[in-house]
Chains A and B, each alone.
Chain A
Amino acid sequence: MRMSPWLKNEYLIYGILLVLLVTYVILNHSLLSVFQIQSLITSSAPYFLVGLGESIVIIAGGIDLSIGYMVSLTCVVVATTAATVGVPLALLVGAAAGLINGLLITHFRLSALVTTLATGSFFFGIALHILPTPGGSVAPWISTIAENNLGPIPLVAFVLGLILVLTWIVYYRTPTGRYLFAVGDNLEGARQSGIDEKRIRVGSYVAAGLLAALAGIFLAGQTSSGDPNIGTPFTLNAIVIAVLGGTSLAGGVGSIGGVVAASFVLTVISDIIFLTNASSYLQYIVSGGILVLVLGLSQGVRIVRSISRHSEGRQVRQG
């Protein structure tokens, strides 16, 4: 949208995505088929949803380690309730879970990290209690949205598109969106500017809860059942997507495009692993390694640069 320093981060993820797509096409020996693109979008959907949720929380200066378990909980809720109430109830549960996180962290001033770690365990426990093993049933229309296409376009793409547009409007066209960035950027400054920072921070956790609920509903639809363990890998992936997508862990910086690209990146990587017949277990190493690698390299470059600049300066002065 405009030039800013974090756009550079975004370019990085776009570059990675491009390289991966080219690799994929080469290994595939042909251009992507319509079906492959469709499946790319559908498999990326839950990643995108949790990544966006995590990104919103991190922009506001927090962190949410319970997001994967909120996915599990809402997935189980959809699969065990009547078709008519399942979706609204799951959304309500997601929002309530986010509200619990937000209130504990902002109003009781608890550490976001340990609080969401603990509430995550709590949500997981509830999910297990409702449905100890995978099962249940899901309203057919949810599965239809999760799996079917309208012409060449997956139905879920319309939902994602709507969320993208809504998020963009909130981010860049409403005071609330600007406050979200301002609070994460400079909390004290935001307070001095008369912003109700607590409301914004609680709101970010609620948004994450709602997006996790959407992911849970989608996954339930996709598998036509509920699974209390389905969300477990999503916590790490949500953080990976948010940060790879240019969200700064220091808060105040983040973009929508980066999150979209980063969620595609994770999907394309697992597709490549599948194509090359490599062990599917590599997926775990990639999930864990990619963020550490990117963060570590960027800091490594910074260290090297500062050392060379420093010694240069010394030589000039002493010479």
Chain B
Amino acid sequence: MIFRGQIETWLWKDGHRQVIVAYLAAIGLFVLGSIFIRGFFGWGHILAIASTAGFVGIVGIGQTFTLITGGIDLSVAYMLNFGALLITGITLGSNHQLLLGAVVVAVVAALTGLVNGVGITILKIPPLIMTLSMNSILEGAALLYSNGTPQGASPPLLTTLATGAGPLGIPWMVWFWAVVAVLVLLLFRRTVFGRWTYASGSAPRASWLSGIPVNRVVIFVYVVSAIAAALAGLLLAGYSGQAYFGMGDSYQLASVAVAVIGGTSILGGKGNYLGTIAGALILTTLTSLLEVLNVGASMESMLYGVVIIAMMLVNRERQSS
């Protein structure tokens, strides 16, 4: 009975309904695809979608929480790309240097996030300009690092992680994403820091007056975002077996899209990573529908735009009513 009460409470909580709707939409889309497209339905395809959704889902960690603080991170595209270039360049396709490579990538990402965060909080540079500029700086840094030609290849371990099948026949990628997701949910739902993140985005002045170190919270969120993007870069390098320029471009907008679809408010203070996961599943299902219809990258790009605008319009109606 207590358990049932808790579920009811959870369902009642503001924002959770939106998350549930997002999951229903993901299922609905899949069913729709299964009805109209031959061969769409199947356990294998479900796993494939979940696995592919993991990449944008992990980039979406950063976007969800920077949006919750009232900002945005537009440097994820080249953070991801730089991370991928670094790991293939350092490891040169062998597992031996993987740990070193991962540490280097983590340090570079943390520093990038730190610079973003300090620029935004202390130097008061608007998040948009700070992170968009950082994206260009990272692009330059990535080009300089690789001298325009990506070197090396992904270590086999990463390739296995990104493409291999794990226990119960479920891809390692899905297991990995699930673990990351649980950690993220715990961090933002169960810790003081997580509570402070929501508070800082919801009402910055009230947060400061409540004794929250708002600047530090925001800086840390940008560090998390950069690390998440770089992590997605490692996985994507593993998936492709190598790194190439432009591999992060489509994740810029896709990461915003999955957060917004999952109910994260672009005005800050509202959002939930559970929703972003649903958003990633929806976007990936839509993309795979388009792939079957063979419409190509152009439609994907248009789709991202339309989906974001549509979600903002829907949420706007909800707010005004």
Contact = CB atoms under 8 A, between A and B. Distances in A.
B302 interface: yes
B140 A292 contact: no
Nearest to A66: B305
Contacts, number: 146
A110 interface: yes
Contacts of B138: 288
Interface residues of A, number: 48
A129 B298 CA distance: 5
Interface of A, helix, strand, loop or mixed by DSSP: helix
A109 B302 CA distance: 21
B256 to A, nearest CB: 7
Given A118-B253, A288-B133, A132 B296 contact: yes
Given A283-B140, A287-B136, A111 B266 contact: yes
A36 B51 CA distance: 54
Contacts of B308: 114, 117-118, 121
A122 interface: yes
Interface stretch (B87-95, B101-109, B122-130): B122-130
Interface stretch (A212-220, A259-267, A293-301): A293-301
B86 to A, nearest CB: 16
Nearest to A119: B305
Given A104-B309, A114-B312, A292-B130, A299 B139 contact: no
A299 B140 contact: no
Contacts of B125: 292, 295-296, 299
Given A111-B312, A288-B140, A239 B301 contact: no
B309 A279 contact: no
Interface in A19-69: 63, 65
Interface of B, helix, strand, loop or mixed by DSSP: helix
Interface stretch (B16-24, B141-149, B163-171, B215-223): B141-149
Interface string A269-302: 0000000000101111111110110011001100
Contacts of B305: 118-123, 125
B135 A299 contact: no
Contact of B313 (A110, A240, A283, A295): A110
Contacts of A236: 132-133, 135-136
B292 interface: no
B126 A128 contact: no
Contacts of B132: 65, 235-236, 239, 288
A114 B298 contact: no
Contacts of A104: 309
B119 interface: yes
Contact of B123 (A124, A288, A300): A300
Contacts of A279: 143-144, 147
A289 B130 CA distance: 9
Contacts of A125: 298-305
A287 B296 CA distance: 31
B119 A128 contact: no
A115 B137 contact: no
The 6 closest A-B pairs by CB, nearest first: A122-B305, A288-B136, A284-B140, A125-B302, A125-B301, A128-B298
